[in-house]
């Protein structure tokens, strides 16, 4: 709704007093989302009380898309855009290899003749709102796309996110949720699994600690419990030459690499200072 300048200034002042650093930007977004003065007031109240802006608006910006996020669902972080960039680059190279092979040029595809010319199978495991899957469908499609999560609210949200892209969303614990027909067929398996060590959760900002579910944050004593299970199971789901991409932190990256090497994957670590993101990429030989 359009706000009179005095009302907008009042909203900005309330947000600023509550500690919102980008009060002007947030006020503009809340004004855009509100349908009525009462609705606006409720939204401002929620923000002042500490609700994440994305839960109030009902969406988070991620890779240039508006990803639906409901209260209780993990809000996609900017650093996770690195996971998308790396996965998109892998899919782009695969497509080029397929085009080259079709024209009778280039190195043979390690996945076998014709493999790169089929539609790639992409899985976002531990998908939350499925921002990674949606961004890959948008920027690197067409794909045969799957997203999975153990949390029912996340699965509901992911289904809304992927509806325009035609992806399949499934609920359950890691690989238990996936159709068995995907075994040995996955081109890219991307996971931003929880990786916060249990003891560090108390140190997280309240927006995460109080408004995102523990299952989305808590990675066990060293933060890598879920990630290790994702890595240990990956090889039998990846196609030959397929890639597993796991978001991690700078400090945890050596342990992520070690787990991938132990699982028989060839690893490399990618770091973006700009996004403050770290991704370990493992390739099935
Ligand atoms: C850090 S959030 C990431 C969400 C999303 N990938 C993103 O980057 O925005 C981790 C997600 O993993 C899910 N999760 C945790 N344990 C899981 C498990 N055992 N099986 C499937 N999903 C799990 C949580 O529900 C949560 O949505």
Q: Which pLDDT does position 100 carry in this prediction?
A: 66
Q: Which residues of 235-260 are buried (b: 16+ CB within 10 A; e: fewer)?
A: bebbbebbbbbbbbbeebbebbbebb
Token pair, residue 4, equals 């009179």
Q: Is the CB of 127 under 6 A from ligand 1?
A: yes
Check if 194 has its Cβ closer than 6 Å to any atom of ligand 1.
yes
Along the 285 residues of the chain, how does pLDDT read in single tens digits? 888 889 999 999 999 999 999 999 999 999 999 999 999 999 999 999 999 999 999 999 999 999 999 999 999 999 999 999 999 999 999 988 887 664 444 444 444 444 556 899 999 999 999 999 999 999 998 999 999 999 999 999 999 999 999 999 999 999 999 999 999 999 999 999 999 999 999 999 999 999 999 999 999 999 999 999 999 999 999 999 999 999 999 999 999 999 999 999 999 999 999 999 999 999 999
> How many whole angstroms separate alpha carbon 135 and alpha carbon 132?
5
Nearest residue CA, atom 12 of ligand 1? 126
CA-proximal residue: ligand 1, atom 26 (nearest) = 216
**C-alpha torsion 236→238→243→249, nearest 10:** -50
Q: Is 193 in the pocket of ligand 1 (CB under 6 A)?
A: yes
Q: Ligand 1: does its nearest atom lie under 6 Å from the Cβ of 131?
A: yes
Query: Considering only CA atoms, which residue is closest to atom 13 of ligand 1?
Result: 126
C-alpha to C-alpha distance for 103 and 142, rounded to whole angstroms: 20
Q: Detail the DSSP E strand segments found in the chain.
A: 59-62, 65-68, 121-125, 144-149, 168-171, 186-191, 238-248, 266-272, 277-283
CB neighbours of residue 202 within 10 Å: 7
Please give the full DSSP string across 152-212, using - where no structure is assigned: HHHHHHHHHHHGGGT-EEEESSGGGGS-GGGTTTEEEEEE----B-GGGGGGS-HHHHHHS
Q: Which of 62, 197, 216 to mutate to test the pocket of ligand 1 (most atoms within 8 A of CB)?
A: 216
Binding site membership of 226 for ligand 1 (Cβ less than 6 Å):
yes
**CA distances for 21 relative to 16, 32, 177, 207, angstroms:** 7, 19, 40, 14
Q: Which of 176, 207, 192, 204 is closest to 252 using CA atoms?
A: 192
CB contact at 8 A, 31 and 11:
yes
227 CB-near residues (< 8 Å, 6+ apart) = 191, 193, 195, 219, 246, 248, 256, 259
3-class secondary structure, 237: coil
Pocket test for ligand 1, best of 60, 78, 126, 215 (most atoms within 8 A of CB): 126
Do 154 and 73 form a contact (C-beta atoms < 8 A)? yes
Residue 2: predicted pLDDT: 86
Q: For ligand 1, say whether the CB of 126 is within 6 Å of any of its atoms.
A: yes
Which tokens go with 118? Answer: 């089929």
Q: How far is the CA of 129 from the centre of ligand 1 (A)?
A: 9
């Amino acid at each position: 709704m359009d706000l009179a300048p005095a009302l907008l200034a009042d909203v900005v002042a309330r947000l600023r007093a509550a500690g919102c650093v980008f009060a002007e930007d947030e006020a503009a977004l809340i004004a855009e989302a509100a349908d009525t003065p009462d609705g606006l007031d409720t939204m401002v109240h929620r923000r002042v009380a500490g609700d994440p802006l994305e839960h109030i608006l009902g969406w988070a910006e991620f890779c240039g898309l508006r990803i639906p996020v409901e209260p209780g669902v993990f809000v996609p972080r900017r650093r996770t855009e690195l996971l998308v960039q790396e996965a998109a680059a892998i899919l782009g190279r695969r497509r080029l290899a397929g085009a080259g092979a079709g024209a009778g040029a280039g190195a043979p595809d390690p996945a076998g003749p014709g493999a790169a010319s089929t539609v790639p199978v992409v899985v976002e495991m531990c998908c939350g709102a499925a921002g990674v899957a949606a961004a890959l469908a948008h920027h690197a499609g067409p794909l045969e796309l799957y997203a999975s999560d153990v949390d029912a609210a996340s699965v509901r949200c992911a289904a809304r996110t992927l509806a325009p892209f035609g992806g399949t969303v499934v609920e359950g614990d890691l690989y238990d949720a996936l159709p068995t027909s995907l075994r040995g067929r996955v081109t890219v398996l991307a996971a931003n699994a929880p990786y916060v060590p249990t003891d560090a959760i108390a140190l997280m900002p309240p927006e995460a600690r109080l408004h995102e579910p523990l299952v989305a944050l808590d990675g066990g004593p060293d933060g890598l419990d879920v990630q290790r299970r994702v890595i240990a199971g990956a090889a039998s789901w990846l196609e030959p030459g397929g890639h597993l991409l796991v978001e991690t932190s700078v400090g945890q990256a050596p342990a992520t690499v070690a787990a991938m090497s132990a699982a028989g994957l060839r690893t490399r670590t990618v770091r973006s200072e700009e996004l403050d993101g770290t991704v370990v990429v493992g390739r099935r030989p």
